[in-house]
A and B are shown apart, each in its own frame.
Chain A
Amino acid sequence: DAGVTQSPTHLIKTRGQHVTLRCSPISGHKSVSWYQQVLGQGPQFIFQYYEKEERGRGNFPDRFSARQFPNYSSELNVNALLLGDSALYLCASSLVEFSGNTIYFGEGSWLTVV
């Protein structure tokens, strides 16, 4: 079975632009979460979605938004990009939203803001 897939793998954007990152969870997984990993740091939780509803939000500004579609895939949107948004963005999926469930990560999308 395919794992968590993310696209694009790498992208470069200019300050002030908007970006959309996409994620397809493992087949059968209904929960998707997003993380930002700045170089040299641990991943920071951004959002969690379950059954198309937002179930958790980290300490990120309103420029960050996400949604989950009926097929459980997800998009992360970032508006008005700043240089500090340059990071690896990780998507993860789990079967259900309960905290004991294993979270499976994708390879990530590398975003560079110039």
Chain B
Amino acid sequence: AQSVTQLDSHVSVSEGTPVLLRCNYSSSYSPSLFWYVQHPNKGLQLLLKYTSAATLVKGINGFEAEFKKSETSFHLTKPSAHMSDAAEYFCVVTGPHTGGFKTIFGAGTRLFVKA
């Protein structure tokens, strides 16, 4: 079985400062992990994904995430926040589930960026 926990429901940063959005996962199998972003009234856009290759994954818009198996974590970071980064971020795990596959979303982290 898989599960994903986003440790912060809200994160507030100032423009130009680093961003850290935390995600812990649980999986009986080697997981595939994703980060998606959802801007207000928009669909979900893929930021990056981990699929058992390099543990440090680089995504779009300067975001990156590091897969740490020992800590079962997949935290999302960005060195310098921009106003346009304000959105809802979802950590996602996919994997085998009873004859098929299942996709599990975290509850989301709302990122606020202050000018």
Contacts and interface: CB of A to CB of B under 8 A. Distances in A.
Given A42-B107, A90-B44, A107-B43, A102 B101 contact: no
A48 B102 contact: yes
A48 B98 CA distance: 12
Q: How extensive is the interface on chain A, given as a class? A: 20 to 34
Interface in B12-54: 31-32, 34, 36, 42-46, 49, 51-52
Nearest to B29: A99
A28 interface: no
Nearest to A4: B43
B contact patch SS:
strand
Contacts of A55: 99-101
A103 B103 contact: yes
A43 B38 CA distance: 11
A106 B51 CA distance: 23
Contacts of A99: 31-32, 94-96, 101
Interface in A77-114: 90, 92, 97-100, 102-108
28 contacts: A35-B103, A41-B107, A42-B90, A42-B106, A43-B90, A43-B105, A45-B102, A45-B103, A45-B104, A48-B102, A55-B101, A56-B100, A90-B43, A90-B44, A92-B44, A92-B103, A97-B100, A97-B101, A99-B95, A99-B101, A100-B49, A100-B52, A100-B94, A102-B49, A103-B94, A103-B103, A105-B43, A107-B42
